[in-house]
Amino acid sequence: MTGAQAVVAALERAGVETIFGYPGGAIMPLYDALYEHRVRHVLVRHEAAAAFAASGYARTSGRAGVCCATSGPGATNLVTGLLDAMMDSVPLVAITGQVRTELMGTDGFQEADVCAITQPVTKRNFLVSDASRIGETIAEAFALALHGRPGPVLVDIPNDVLKARLDDAAVREPMTRGGAGPRVSDAAVRDAVARIRCARRPVAIIGGGVRSGAVDLYRMFVAMLGLPHAATINALGAAAPGDETYLGMLGMHGLKGANKAVQRADLIVALGMRFDDRVTGKPDRFAREAAVIHADIDATEFGKIVTADVALHGDLRATLRALVDELARGHVPRFDDWAAEARQLGGPLPSDRVEHDELSATGVLDRLFDAIPDDAIVTTDVGQHQMWAAQRARPAHPRKYATSAGLGAMGFGFPAGIGAAYANPGTPVYAIVGDGGFQMCLPELATLRRYDVPVKIVLIDNQNLGMVRQWQELFFSERYSATNLADNPDFVAIARAYGIDAFAVTAPSHAGDVIARFVASRGPALLHCACHPTENVWPMIPAGMTVDDLMEARA
Amino acid sequence: MTCDLTLRDVRSVARIVNLAHRFNCRTTHIAVQADATVTARFAFAGPEVALSRLRAQIDRILAYEANPT
């Protein structure tokens, strides 16, 4: 067995079925080992797309996503995807080739100190210098990626180590893995429940931690209390379909009712969320009247932004189980009146300056969400369309929705959709993208075609880097610097050149018909929507402000 | 703020120094003994909130080093 074959064997032991990658010199032995192997390799057209596809795979399946790249530029092209996974707690394992050991430190061809570069963007990384340790290192990488708060791990393997012949007897067995993790304290649970029983206006906020298998218990928890609740963008889909106590997405472009209810709350039950600045605005003015119960698997999050009155350190599923059990031992309060009041704090989403005969992005997305199947997976890119989609989407489960939330990495949405399609064969996947981000990953149309991946791309083309343009309009005196994309290419022609079916919508009068045909089409397809160029996202809480400063239209 | 740490990976020393710099803290003292395990003593100076954030990040590094086995 060679080192490269040991890598593939370790991937098999970890249950890996699909990896996303791009070959190159240093990693050629691994590609040789993958040749005709049952671990399926998906050739992307840029390493950044490999990391994003692996992320889409992981986000929509709960399994670790795997990507690989060669040394130097191949590895550095993974960095954005690794940081994206770090920010959103996505389990990812990246395997990179490295130059031969004897060349390391000589500025060799395609040499980069990848472990140093990726140290801040991974939970850990490993440089494997002894082929006999490949198996145990990769096993540890998967354990670490999935254990506790999930995240990315990188394994860097020099070319000569990949080529080295291994005496099977010398191969070190994978270590026993997986500690139990932190167990939430009984006293903290009792304290939390006592505060819930005393509260008059409690609001739950659910975050990405709900993806840890906690959806059912979360729904049970809010239902047993009639508790009004809001979600961060990473937890869209946590609420049960039709749940009237659900107030919607929270934050800068969240729904008014969700933001106002949180601001009026006397108790915040924050579950698996990290008080991102896009959620809190100005932290010292966030939910000023509220005590805070904060549940998280990562103790680092307690007190990082918002001080917790009760910290519940542990796995969210176990924490919710403990809360439900403790509540059931005594009085179970109901908050129906407050929930009804909280619902009245909102209102319909504000519309913007689009005339009835012009195509609005929000109109397209409303029609799209009405048309797609309930079990569809949606991925989005980053920008205005991301916020419009998040305001409107009602995914059936958090694993049905994937977006680059914490990092806000443009170019994520389309390759993430490819990864989601591989993780969920037979499930319809819609990648909603803007004209800016789509052009960061256009070559992945070739990936779509080669493997006939049934991803449907919804391109909201407003001929602008719309979110930046919106901020320039509102906060930079309408000085539109480097945001105009009026010279965009013909996206329909590009898609067809790659052999992808393409549909075009230019006016609301025929949007419904075109969207229906697009949704009914088989295989990969592009829907190009030529939208109004200056439609803005409302509501908006300007950065560093609070819901008291919420804008629903231009001043 | 003084931290006496036992690390599994000596590279974490560099990571901690970089984090201190990022959080506008000064690393005023480092002493490292790297054998089978790495023992390190750090001292940092800086704003209280930054030191608190640094300590939390150091704890996360320790957790990620220790957790999977």
Share of chain A above pLDDT 90, in %: 93
- B59 and A299 within 8 Å at the Cβ level: the answer is yes
The position carrying tokens 């009792």 is A190
Cross-strand bridge partners of residue A527: A458, A503
Model confidence at B69, in pLDDT bands (50, 70, 90)?
very low
- A176 and B67 within 8 Å at the Cβ level: the answer is no
For A422-461, give one letter per residue: b (16+ CB within 10 A) or e: bbbeeebbbbbbbbbbbbbbbebbebbeeeebbbbbbbbb
pLDDT mean across residues, chain B: 93
Domain span holding position B60: 2-66
pLDDT > 90? residue A220: yes
Specify the DSSP class assigned to residue A400.
G
Residue A176's closest chain B neighbor by CA?
A: B69
Q: Which of A324, A345, A342 is nearest to A196 (CA)?
A: A324
CATH code, domain carrying B13: 3.30.70.260
Closest CA–CA distance from residue B11 to any residue of chain A (Å): 9
Phi-psi map region of A193: left, alpha, beta (phi>0 left; psi -120 to 50 alpha): alpha
> In Å, how far are A120, A133, A315, A379, A423 from A60, measured between CA atoms?
25, 31, 19, 10, 7
Q: CB contact, 8 Å: B56 with chain A?
A: yes
Number of domains in chain B: 1
Look at residue A176 in the predicted model and tell me its pLDDT: 52
Cβ-based contacts of A143 with chain B (< 8 Å): 68-69
Closest partner CB to B67 (pick from A148, A300, A304): A148
The arithmetic mean of pLDDT across residues A537-545, rounded, is: 94
Q: CB contact, 8 Å: A30 with chain B?
A: no
Closest CA–CA distance from residue B62 to any residue of chain A (Å): 10
Q: Which of A224, A203, A450, A198 is nearest to A339 (CA)?
A: A203
Look at residue A76 in the predicted model and tell me its pLDDT: 98
Q: Which of A66, A67, A90 is nearest to A77 (CA)?
A: A67
* Spatial separation of the C-alpha atoms in residues A309 and A294, rounded to whole Å: 8
> In Å, how far are A15, A144, A213, A483 from A179, measured between CA atoms?
20, 10, 18, 49
Q: Which two tokens stand for residue A123?
A: 């939970």
The arithmetic mean of pLDDT across residues B52-63, rounded, is: 94
Interface of A with B in 287-316 (CB under 8 A): 298-300, 303-304
For A486-522, give one letter per residue: b (16+ CB within 10 A) or e: eebeebbebbeebebbbbbbeebeebeebbeebbeee
Model confidence at A298, in pLDDT bands (50, 70, 90)?
very high
Closest partner CB to B59 (pick from A175, A179, A300): A300
* Spatial separation of the C-alpha atoms in residues A386 and A252, rounded to whole Å: 12
The arithmetic mean of pLDDT across residues A252-262, rounded, is: 96
Sheet containing strand A18-21, edge to edge, reads: A40-43, A18-21, A65-69, A92-98, A152-158, A124-127
pLDDT > 50? residue A346: yes
Residue A122's closest chain B neighbor by CA?
A: B64
Look at residue A356 in the predicted model and tell me its pLDDT: 78
Q: CB contact, 8 Å: A328 with chain B?
A: no
Span of A100-104, A164-168, A238-242 with lowest mean pLDDT = A164-168
Cross-strand bridge partners of residue A110: none
Which amino acid appears at position A430 of this protein? Y
Closest partner CB to B67 (pick from A120, A147, A300): A147
Helix axes A256-264, A336-343, angle to 10 degrees: 130
pLDDT > 90? residue A355: no
Strands of A441-552 (E only): list them: 455-461, 501-505, 525-530
Residue A141's closest chain B neighbor by CA?
A: B68
Q: What does residue A117 show for φ and ψ, rounded to 5 degrees?
A: -65, -40
Which of A124, A128, A146, A153 is best to mutate for the B interface (most B CBs within 10 A)?
A124
Strands of chain B (E only): list them: 2-7, 26-34, 38-45
Look at residue A354 in the predicted model and tell me its pLDDT: 78
Q: CB contact, 8 Å: A499 with chain B?
A: no
- A143 and B52 within 8 Å at the Cβ level: the answer is no
Question: A203-217: per-residue pLDDT in tens?
Answer: 999 999 999 999 999
* Spatial separation of the C-alpha atoms in residues A245 and A91, rounded to whole Å: 31
Closest CA–CA distance from residue B59 to any residue of chain A (Å): 7
pLDDT > 70? residue A46: yes
Closest partner CB to B15 (pick from A119, A148, A300): A119
ipTM: 0.91
Cβ pair A56, A419 in contact under 8 A: yes
The arithmetic mean of pLDDT across residues A132-154, rounded, is: 96
Model confidence at A248, in pLDDT bands (50, 70, 90)?
very high
Which amino acid appears at position A493 of this protein? A
Which of A89, A118, A123 is best to mutate for the B interface (most B CBs within 10 A)?
A123
* Spatial separation of the C-alpha atoms in residues A227 and A219, rounded to whole Å: 10
- A/B interface, count of CB pairs below 8 Å: 46
Sheet containing strand A291-296, edge to edge, reads: A246-249, A229-231, A202-206, A267-271, A291-296, A310-313
> In Å, how far are A22, A94, A392 from A139, measured between CA atoms?
22, 13, 40
The arithmetic mean of pLDDT across residues A397-411, rounded, is: 98
Q: CB contact, 8 Å: B9 with chain A?
A: yes
Residues counted in chain B: 69
Cβ pair A502, A528 in contact under 8 A: yes
Look at residue A352 in the predicted model and tell me its pLDDT: 82
Look at residue B59 in the predicted model and tell me its pLDDT: 93
